[in-house]
Structure 1
Amino acid sequence: MIIQHYHANLPTPTGLMRTTVYRPEISGQFPAIIFYSEIFQQTAPIARSAALLASHGFVVLVPEVFHELNPIGTVLAYDDAGKDKGNNDKWAKPLESHDSDTQALIDFVQTQDYCTGSVGTMGVCIGGHLAYRAALNPHIKAAFCLYATDIHSDTLPAQAGNNSFERMADIQGEIHFIWGKQDPHVPQQGRDKIYQQAVSTGINYQWQEVNAQHAFMRDEGERYDGALAITMYLQAVALFNRTL
């Protein structure tokens, strides 16, 4: 399916949020996927992932996850300076601001004549956390969360009682957790903690642990696993085709 893409600057309580919209060129209405990036924002690998998903018949929105902390259009490099800046942004932005960003994206989807109004989420690294976090919003029907960081450790800033781990029971849609067994950012103890919470809350979830390192979806760098990435894209598309 041939796709098009363009930028939309969406108003949020914390300022304009640059969002890139990828969608089919043909006319019609399509379900939407909010695709949350790593700390580096919309790098070339993230853009390629969004285009791949859109080509399966989805409207894919890629927001700048730290829009209030950077000039519009900021993309951080995959180097130490970019990692340090992205991590500082991660620790500076409260989860409540991510929640209002998600609501702004949902509001945008529901006013576009090329969208059905159904919304799912997907993300990698902190984006996996944000896809999970977005699923706390009852409008999100499904979430595909790849090696989501900081859920188990409760290290992202939030108001008392509003951390992502403790609020898992609020998830109403279907959520898929995918973890790399060799990922030091979410070790076995952390994965066990999240798994037990999923069991005890009774949410609708699926769980996979694969032999892979952190960022195995990123098609730049030595940790990329192309064969495994293809499998994950197929599973994500199947989930969204079924739920959206």
Structure 2
Amino acid sequence: MNRRDLLRASVLANEFKEGDLLVGGTRDERVRQEARAALGAVRLGVITKTNFVDDGVSEALNRALDSRLAAELTHLTVGELKNILLGAGRVKWVRRYRAGLSSEVIATVVRVMTNQELSVVAQSLFNPLPGRGVAIGAPNHFGSRLQPNSIGDDEEEILFSILEGLTYGCCDVILGINPASDDVETIIRLEELLRRIVERLALPTRYCVLSDILKQTSARARTKVDVGFQSLAGTSKALQGMVGLDVDGLLDQARGFD
């Protein structure tokens, strides 16, 4: 299957969403089933070597792929990978081979699985964070982010939203605000607010103001930035539009952030 056919089948194989119609999707369940069957017969090696999006984001993901493990998986079809993920030995297999599965391979196998099958896989694969007493990512633990946004970045509103969220047991993963105003002064003010709250209440969590990486870098020169954030935006073009950087430039900015 060539690149064009892979892209076409990937769009058609999705469970129907209105947005898919904008990129060639269909409401026809029979067509979607045929597309899933076609994808199920494709070998992982074909998908891994196909450039779905030829840009810096894809290059960075490819560099992170374990080429030795990926080579061991080239002979498998998407359907065979699906059966492995649903089989009794899936946990051991994923631990061994996950670094050899490209993003495109993972996205493809998801397209040929039902919601029930995805649930079976999700209930058995865990990646707990390291550290004594840390439960995030572990079995039987439901982690959550607390997002106390305020239309006017009002500190009192943010504080009460945090206190309310804590009463529900939320916030172990991260305390993260999407600021309404994205200027550096606001970012600094909100970083300092979150720091005071976390320290005063001795919360066992991290905090983040989800601005772009350039503004967070500027803020870091004047206050503590606990966790840095930047969306990859999916493609280099989108990333350039957001912050004027490609992936390599983003990585340079990100060094020193957690």
Normalised TM-score (structure 1): 0.27
More strand by share: 1
Using CA pairs under 8 Å that are at least 6 residues apart, name the structure with larger relative contact order, 1 or 2: 1
Normalised TM-score (structure 2): 0.26
